[in-house]
């Protein structure tokens, strides 16, 4: 619940900067595709991302132009495929002997699907630009209505009939005609209950992408006219920046830092710029950032450099942590007409997920034989990584005006995390904590580009 509480505090702070407008009720329909993202580990193979359908209705209530509440109902099917590290022989016909019947070899894929009816409940933060940007966070309850499995060699366990978890959304609302908007939405869903009642620690998860249409003409005033939000003038004190970036990240730990190499990942989000003085402003917002490192060395661990006597594995893996990042920056405009900018300040990162992917090799030798094995790594590290991260940001760049109301911002940003990223329980040798040396600290450098758009009063 700490993640939800942090988001609620953030939304309340932003809400304080906005004027109140008339209340409004909106309904919408959407449909799209989900990409399954199962949470949990497998020692025998890897999970593959699979697409599935999602569609639903929602009802949205606006308290003002910034703050609202949304609920609804949706249907989705999650498809999972597990690929084993080893091949499994196919079944032999009953009338043949295995001594001469060669039989086919299956790849060892295990297939399953889960169909749910879900009821999400979210709080909404909107930025009144055109298109309007919506950010939502909340919880959902889901009920299993259909389930299928296709496994080769063992009986399936009983799936959980209900699911509960967190849901995070970001979307754009684009005006079409009177009272109708087109909506583009992306959602990240992470389940908190086990997929199966009796075995394993697997949990549901997915990323959704959808298109839809909404109608905001439900509530009318006394003379029968639909209540509308007026967009008369552009605010001189607030503007919005949609931004994306390419991140280069590394492990800046205090112990064996030279053993790690770079990792790469995307970032996407937005900033709200609130003017403080003629050449200074306060910036905050939300972004989804991927950080981490690569490990290509001999090690007794798949995910970090650790050697006890002689290393057993040769490891080639990438460890990544996805964060929902909230920066708190002071921004300064410098140069001719404020074309250049620099900013700095702290940030808070809320962990979304953590993964390690790649391959490891190991050798087994005995009298008269020698074997070399390759193993696929696709491990869930959510329990090994702390829920929150803190650090400092330094950035700068250039602003290029385009058209009349827009501008492009481009620049570089350096981010340095403070403190150990791994949870203490994940380091069984414990010597890193006793010596005060960190094993995993995040650092990244990103090339950013953003579009500055006006906000209406």
For residue range 86-138, list pLDDT tens digits in order.
544 444 343 333 333 333 444 456 788 899 999 999 999 887 777 788 889 99
Beta bridge partner(s), residue 407: 401, 452
pLDDT of residue 98: 35
Q: For residue 251, which of 307, 297, 285, 286 has the smallest C-alpha distance? A: 297
- Candidates 263, 264, 283; CA nearest to 273 is 283
Domain spanning 1-231, CATH architecture: Beta Barrel (2.40)
Q: What is the pTM of this model?
A: 0.70
> Does residue 4 carry a pLDDT above 50?
no
For the chain, give the percent of residues with pLDDT over 70.
79
Residue 234 or residue 422, greater confidence:
422
Q: Which residue has the higher pLDDT, 388 or 106?
A: 388
> Quick one: CA dihedral 183, 27, 240, 331, positive or negative?
negative
Out of 58-62, 105-109, 318-322, least confident range: 105-109
Does 156 score more than 70 pLDDT?
no
**Structure tokens, 451:** 């579009």
Is the Cβ–Cβ distance between 132 and 172 less than 8 Å?
yes
Cβ–Cβ < 8 Å for 331, 279: no
The band of 329, judged by pLDDT with boundaries at 50, 70 and 90, is very high
Mean pLDDT confidence for 396-412: 90
**The pLDDT of residue 103:** 38
The helix/strand/coil state of 278 is: coil
Whole-number average pLDDT of the chain: 80
pLDDT, position 372: 79
pLDDT (mean) for 149-153: 62
Give the range among 97-106, 333-342, 366-375 with minimum mean pLDDT. 97-106
Which residue from 452, 9, 18 is spatially nearest to 229, judged by alpha carbons? Answer: 18
The whole-angstrom separation of Cα 280 and Cα 107 is 60
Query: Would the pLDDT of 44 be above 80?
Result: no
* pLDDT tops 80 at residue 316: yes
Predicted confidence band of residue 457 (pLDDT cuts 50, 70, 90): low
* Residue range(s) of every CATH 2.40.160.20 domain in the chain: 1-231, 232-457
- Of the chain, the percentage scoring pLDDT greater than 90 comes to 37
Location of structure tokens 């209540």:
227
CATH number of 232-457: 2.40.160.20
């Amino acid at each position: 619940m700490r993640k939800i509480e942090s988001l609620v505090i953030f939304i309340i702070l932003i809400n304080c900067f906005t004027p109140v407008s008339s209340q409004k009720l909106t309904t919408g329909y959407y449909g799209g595709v989900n990409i399954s993202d199962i949470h949990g580990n497998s020692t025998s193979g890897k999970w593959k991302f699979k697409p599935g359908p999602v569609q639903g209705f929602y009802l949205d209530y606006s308290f003002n132009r910034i703050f609202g509440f949304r609920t609804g109902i949706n249907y989705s099917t999650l498809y999972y495929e597990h690929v084993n590290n080893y091949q499994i022989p196919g079944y032999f016909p009953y009338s043949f002997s295995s001594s001469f019947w060669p039989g086919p070899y299956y790849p060892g894929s295990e297939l399953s699907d889960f169909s749910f009816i879900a009821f999400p409940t979210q709080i909404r933060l909107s930025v009144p630009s055109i298109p309007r940007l919506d950010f939502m966070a909340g919880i959902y309850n889901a009920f299993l209505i259909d389930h299928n499995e296709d496994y080769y060699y063992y009986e399936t366990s009983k799936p959980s009939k209900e699911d509960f978890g967190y849901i995070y959304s970001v979307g754009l609302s684009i005006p079409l005609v009177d009272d109708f908007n087109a909506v583009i939405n992306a959602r990240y869903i992470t389940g908190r209950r086990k997929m199966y009642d009796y075995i394993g620690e697997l949990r549901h998860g997915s990323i959704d992408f959808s298109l839809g249409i909404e109608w905001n003409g439900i509530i009318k005033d006394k003379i029968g006219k639909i209540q509308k939000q007026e967009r008369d003038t552009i605010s001189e004190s607030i503007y919005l920046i949609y931004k994306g970036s390419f991140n280069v990240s590394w492990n800046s730990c205090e112990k064996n830092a030279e053993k790690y190499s770079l990792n790469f990942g995307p970032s996407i989000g937005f900033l709200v710029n609130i003017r403080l003085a003629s050449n200074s402003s306060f910036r905050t917002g939300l972004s989804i950032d991927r950080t981490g490192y690569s490990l290509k060395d001999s090690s007794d661990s798949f995910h970090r450099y650790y050697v006890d006597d002689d290393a057993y594995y040769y490891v080639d893996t990438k460890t990544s942590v996805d964060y929902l990042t909230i920066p708190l920056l002071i921004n300064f405009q410098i140069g001719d007409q404020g074309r250049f900018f620099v900013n700095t300040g702290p940030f808070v990162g809320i962990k979304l997920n953590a993964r390690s992917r790649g391959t490891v090799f190991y050798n087994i030798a005995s009298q008269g034989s020698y074997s070399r094995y390759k193993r696929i790594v696709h491990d869930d590290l959510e329990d090994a990584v702390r829920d929150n991260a803190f650090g400092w940001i330094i950035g700068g760049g250039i602003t290029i005006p385009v058209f009349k109301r827009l501008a492009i911002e481009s620049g570089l940003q350096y981010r340095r995390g403070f403190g150990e990223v791994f949870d203490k329980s994940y380091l069984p040798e414990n010597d890193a904590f006793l010596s005060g040396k960190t094993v995993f600290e995040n650092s990244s450098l990103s090339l950013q580009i953003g579009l500055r758009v006006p906000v209406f009063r």
